Structure formats: structure tokens, C-alpha cells
């Protein structure tokens, strides 16, 4: 019950979803549509698991008086406000939308823009042409960085052309190779999961 049933369900669902691609007959497609809708529902429920874990983690911090638990309260206030507002209305201009546009959007957007600073610092202190490979990489990067901004066009006409060439020839050839390799990896993982060779998703050992 604990191991065999889930593995069997996994196998059946997987094989069915894989072979329906080749069978247009409505008797198969009707079940395909049904299962697709189920998967979608499951995904929505699975997403909420993350929220439950988050709440448990921070409740634990507050409960055990861990240092910095004040921030856990901040988190709960944010969560509570959003849920409270959300059930009242979500139209543009509502408090829910106000919080999204003026808290979530700016903070999340700014977090990633911090990296622009770190890239500059790394450019000076870490990006080294130590090997032939790294040298090639940095050279190509320099050309592309110049060729994709207006100033590159001004410096020399051939820079944008060289950038296009890099993107369309060496970049495309290597990315195509990587795309194939990663694709094989994706399929192999999917297959191993379906066949029960790879069971990490079950967690635990019992």
C-alpha cells in the first residue's frame, strides 16, 4: 500500500499520458482530457503546500523564540493583510491590488536588480581570462555586450554584425547541442520516474 500503490499509479498515469499522444481516438482522448484537468487541480493544491510549510516554519520560529522572530511577525502581517484584502475584492485600485503593485512588485523587482551591482564588482574582481576557454568566453561576451547597445553601432558598424554572427552561428550550434543533451536528460528522468527506477519523489525510506 505504501510503496506499490503509488508506484503503480505513477506508472499507469505516466504510460497513459505518454501513449495518448499517438492515439487520436475519442475514447482515449476523453480520458486524456479528464486526466489533464486532474493534474491541473493537483498542481494547484501542490502549490499551496509551500504556503503551509512557510507558515509552519515561521510559527515555529515565533513559538521557540528564535532570534530575529520579529521578522516572522512582519511576514505574517504581510500574509494576513493580503488574504484579508483579497477576499474583499481584487479589482485594480482595491487594497489587494495596491499591496501587490506597491509592495510586491517593487521589492521583487529590486531584489534582482541588485545583481547589476554584483556583476560590476565581479567584473573587476572575479572574471578572469585564466584559461583559453575563459578568454574566448569573455571576448564573445564583450562583443555581444557592445553589439546589443546603441553605442556599439556608433563605435564600429561591424560590431552589431559580429554580434549577430555570434548569436546565429556559434551560439546557435552550441545551444542546439545543449538543447538536445538537456532534452535527453529530461526524457531520461521522466522515464526513470515512470518506471519506478527513480523514486526520490516518494521521500523517506519506509
Partner 1 sequence: MNRLGKFLQIDRRWIFLAILIAVLAPFIWPMGLPIVITKPVQDLYNAVDAIPPNGEPLFISIDYSPSTVPELDPMALAILRHAFSKDIRVAVLTLDPAGYGLAERALEAVAAEFGKERHKDYVFLGFQPGISAVVLGMGINIRNVFPEDAYGTPLSEVPMMEGIRNYDQIPLLITLSGTAVVEAWVIYAHQPYDAQIGAGVTAVMATDYYPFLDTGQLVGMLGGMRGAAEYETLIDRHDAGVRGMDSQSVIHILIIVLIVVGNIAYFGSRKRAPETAGGDAAA
Partner 2 sequence: MRGATGFSRRTRPVGGPTIVTATLAALLLFPAALPAQEPEAPAPVAAIAPPAGVLAVDSPDDRGGSVDVSWDLSPDDAEGRVLCYRIYRSAHPDTGFAPVGLVAPGVSRFRDSAAPDGTPLHYRVAVSDGEREVFSASFGPVEALPQWFHRGRITVLIASLGFVVAIVYFVRAAKAGKDLFIRRLAGLDHMDDAVGRATEMGKPILFISGLSTISDVATIAAVNILGEVAKKTAEYNTRLIVPCADPIVMAVEQEVVKEAYAKVGRVDAYNEDDVFYLTRSQFAYVAGVSGIMVRQRPATILYMGMFYAESLVLAETGASVGSIQIAGTDAVTQLPFFITSCDYTLIGEELYAASAYLSREPVLLGGLKGQDMTKAAIGLAIVLGAISATLAALGVIPWDFVARVLVNA
Partner 3 sequence: MNMTLIGTTLAALLTIAVYSFLYKDNPFYKFAEHLVVGVSAGYYLVIYYYNFIDPTVVSPVFRLRIGGDAILLGGVDWWMALIPGLLGLILYARFFPKIGWVSRWALGIYVGGYSGLGIAPVMQARVLDQIRGGALPVHALHTGQGWTNLLLVVGLLGTLTYFFFSLKHKGVLGGLARIGIVFIMVGFGASFGYTVMSRVSLLIGRMNFLLHDWLRIV
The interface with partner 2 within residues 120-159 (CB under 8 A) comprises: 121-122, 125-130, 133-134, 137-138, 141
Nearer to partner 3, 63 or 80 (CB): 80
d(CA 137, CA 129) in angstroms, rounded, equals: 9
**Under rule CB under 8 A, residue 194 binds partner 3:** yes
Contact region with partner 1 (CB under 8 A), list: 58-66, 67-75, 81-89, 159-167: 159-167
Provide the minimum distance between the beta carbon of 91 and partner 3 in the complex, in angstroms, as a whole number: 12
**Under rule CB under 8 A, residue 75 binds partner 1:** no
Q: Which entry of partner 3, partner 2, partner 1, none binds 72, CB below 5 to 8 A by partner kind?
A: partner 3
Of 164, 117, 118, give the one whose Cα is nearest residue 140: 164
**Under rule CB under 8 A, residue 49 binds partner 2:** no
Q: Which entry of partner 2, partner 1, partner 3, none binds 153, CB below 5 to 8 A by partner kind?
A: partner 1
Q: How far is CA 91 from the centre of its chain?
A: 27
**Under rule CB under 8 A, residue 118 binds partner 2:** yes
Instruction: For residue 166, report the phi and psi dihedrals to the nearest 5 degrees.
Output: -60, -45
C-alpha cell at 21: 499522444
The torsion angle over the Cα atoms of residues 115, 121, 125 and 130, rounded to 10 degrees, is: 50
C-alpha cell at 71: 521578522
Of 85, 83, 63, give the one whose Cα is nearest residue 73: 63
Using an 8 Å Cβ cutoff, are 144 and 167 in contact? Answer: yes
**Under rule CB under 8 A, residue 66 binds partner 3:** no
Nearer to partner 2, 9 or 137 (CB): 137
Kindly tell me which residue out of 35, 62, 153, 162 binds partner 3, with binding defined by CB under 8 A. Answer: 35
- Restricting to residues 179-198, which ones interact with partner 2 according to CB under 8 A? 180-182, 184-185, 187-189, 191-192, 195, 197-198
Contacts of 97 (CB under 8 A, 6+ apart): 90, 91
What's the length of the chain?
206
Instruction: For residue 67, report the phi and psi dihedrals to the nearest 5 degrees.
Output: -60, 140
199: helix, strand or coil:
coil
> Which residues are at the interface with partner 2 (CB under 8 A)?
18, 21-26, 29, 111-112, 114-115, 118-119, 121-122, 125-130, 133-134, 137-138, 141, 178, 180-182, 184-185, 187-189, 191-192, 195, 197-198, 200-201
Amino acid at each position: 500500500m505504501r510503496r506499490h500503490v503509488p508506484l503503480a499509479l505513477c506508472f499507469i498515469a505516466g504510460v497513459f499520458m505518454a501513449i495518448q499522444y499517438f492515439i487520436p481516438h475519442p475514447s482515449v482522448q476523453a480520458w486524456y482530457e479528464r486526466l489533464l484537468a486532474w493534474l491541473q487541480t493537483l498542481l494547484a493544491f501542490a502549490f499551496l503546500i509551500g504556503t503551509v510549510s512557510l507558515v509552519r516554519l515561521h510559527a515555529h520560529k515565533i513559538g521557540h523564540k528564535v532570534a530575529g522572530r520579529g521578522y516572522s511577525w512582519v511576514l505574517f502581517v504581510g500574509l494576513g493583510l493580503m488574504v484579508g484584502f483579497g477576499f474583499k475584492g481584487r479589482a485594480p485600485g482595491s487594497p489587494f491590488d495596491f499591496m501587490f503593485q506597491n509592495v510586491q512588485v517593487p521589492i521583487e523587482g529590486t531584489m534582482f536588480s541588485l545583481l547589476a551591482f554584483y556583476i560590476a564588482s565581479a567584473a573587476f574582481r572575479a572574471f578572469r581570462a585564466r584559461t583559453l576557454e575563459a578568454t574566448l568566453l569573455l571576448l564573445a561576451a564583450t562583443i555581444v555586450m557592445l553589439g546589443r547597445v546603441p553605442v556599439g553601432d556608433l563605435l564600429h558598424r561591424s560590431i552589431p554584425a559580429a554580434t549577430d554572427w555570434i548569436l546565429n552561428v556559434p551560439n546557435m550550434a552550441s545551444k542546439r547541442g545543449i538543447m538536445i543533451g538537456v532534452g535527453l536528460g529530461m526524457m531520461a528522468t521522466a522515464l526513470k520516474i515512470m518506471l519506478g527506477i527513480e523514486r526520490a519523489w516518494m521521500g523517506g525510506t519506509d
